[in-house]
A and B are shown apart, each in its own frame.
Chain A
């Protein structure tokens, strides 16, 4: 049995005890008194159950106090009046005709208080539960955000990439010292950008594209002729804020699930532009979606959740087959949000 019905039965039993007990104290036990108590319990249960449904249908638990208070008083009065009216024939038997008005007013007042108490308890319980749930929800969101931050820190640079690059560099030192020097500088710049993730929560498109370029140069050491890439950026898009490593991770996924699987390789294209209302980031790569298990790469969901944390739910993110042999990943951020948000904002929690 639910808590609601337990309280209902307990509360109305108490009511029955009172309405049978008080007249018995004054005038002794009579069958009409007992009948009145039992009938009162039944009517009370029935009416308050209807009231509960009515309140829930009308959304009373979510009303502000100013609008709720008059409704509660009116509802209590109506229910109390109905109860008294239905019980009236039985009540009248026990009240002498001479003094009917006084006791009837008292009986109505008692019913009013009882029903009012019922409504307040019911709504109060609802309110407390809601506060509790909202708290839990806030905690859950905070936890999710912290976890995302942590995994972002962990996943910022794929160790596989890092060690492969170092290995290539080791070979390059004897083969092409100049290029080795350039690559060390590039790796340093990329690492520096990566470390930003632990300090700043956002970077500019310009910095992010620079880091992505360093990343691609290093991957070129590894893939050589198998990797072609171009970066195409709209000067009007360069100043916008994005989560650090966002574009780099999109590109890393494009290489990992696209280029690395193709023995002959292919190209990766990065385009960032702005339309009147949005900032667009598109990464296309050779390959097919069918052989790209998204769940395997931690990078993709990670970037997505960081985007959501930063810009809220209005960010759109789409991975699709653009051409038979080309996959595109599109991120669209509304400019209104992109411009104003320079730090992580928590999506407002709403409880249904």
Chain B
């Protein structure tokens, strides 16, 4: 498991590195002291896991995650702001309180290894030799979404619908529909088209979330999504959809 340590404090990075040296399953592939450095390092070394300090000068750890196309496993490290983490809707989020207790670190690592191994199997099924950075995002990739005080770490596969909203995109999952800071076109370019289908100019649907689909007037199609939402496939897209399905 390849890890990147992100913390503005050198001593904190040193301490975490020392603690992680007890865990041979983790290989530290880099360090970063702010969000900008971290982004560069993530592109370069493609870590499986981030150890991320919440409070950093300039962009916070949350800002960093929100700017990533796909979020690897994340363990937040924090001195005293569990309150910031409580805003999370994802209860499974891991965090370590500084100074870090080695026992607590060990149990966190154990849990993470299980998650990571499950993810690794999926990655093995991908075509070999593909560059992760340009390969389409799989339904298992996660995006970090914040709206107001709330944040979510969402698996793409659990998103039913992407809807264009100006230069932003509204994503629908569970009972939520927050905005993410990317245009629908940007997203479409990175999404796996076998799962995420452009229905019309302003919507992308998750084909796995389609409950029913039936012909609509003018050669269009009407898809009914889980949760009851109905989306019209434009005439042009309906044709593509039919071709796709007839294969």
Contact = CB atoms under 8 A, between A and B. Distances in A.
B47 to A, nearest CB: 21
A23 B82 CA distance: 85
Given A160-B79, A224-B10, A167 B15 contact: yes
Contact residues on B (Cβ < 8 Å of other chain), bracket: 10 to 19
A78 to B, nearest CB: 68
Contacts of B34: 263
Contact of B11 (A160, A175, A261, A262): A175
Given A164-B9, A221-B11, A171 B79 contact: no
A222 B9 contact: yes
A162 B58 CA distance: 22
A174 B79 contact: no
B16 to A, nearest CB: 9
Given A163-B80, A171-B15, A263 B10 contact: no
A52 B207 CA distance: 83
Nearest to B7: A167
Interface bin, chain A: 20 to 34
A175 B11 CA distance: 9
Contacts of B14: 171, 175
A168 B80 contact: no
Interface string B78-91: 01110000000000
A293 interface: no
* B-side interface mostly: loop
Interface string B99-130: 11000000000000000000000000000000
A113 interface: no
A172 interface: yes
Given A174-B18, A260-B57, A263-B57, A163 B11 contact: no
A261 B63 CA distance: 14
Contact of A166 (B9, B10, B55, B99): B99
Nearest to A159: B80
A170 interface: yes
A163 B57 contact: no
A75 B217 CA distance: 94
B62 to A, nearest CB: 15
Nearest to A225: B10
Given A171-B18, A174-B18, A175-B11, A164 B58 contact: no
Given A171-B12, A221-B11, A164 B18 contact: no
A170 B58 contact: no
Contacts of B11: 167-168, 171-172, 175, 221-222, 224
Nearest to A164: B79
A170 B99 contact: yes
Contacts of A172: 11
Nearest to A163: B79
A163 B58 contact: no
B9 A261 contact: no
Contacts of B36: 263
Interface in A269-302: none
B98 interface: yes
A167 B18 contact: no
Interface string A170-213: 11101100000000000000000000000000000000000000
13 contacts: A160-B79, A160-B80, A163-B80, A167-B98, A168-B9, A169-B99, A170-B15, A171-B15, A171-B18, A222-B12, A223-B9, A224-B10, A263-B34
Interface of A: 159-160, 162-164, 166-172, 174-175, 221-224, 226, 260-263
Given A160-B80, A168-B9, 12 more contacts: A160-B55, A162-B80, A163-B98, A163-B99, A164-B79, A167-B98, A170-B99, A171-B11, A171-B15, A174-B18, A222-B11, A263-B36
| 6 tightest Cβ-Cβ pairs between the two chains A and B | A171-B15, A167-B98, A163-B79, A171-B11, A160-B80, A168-B11
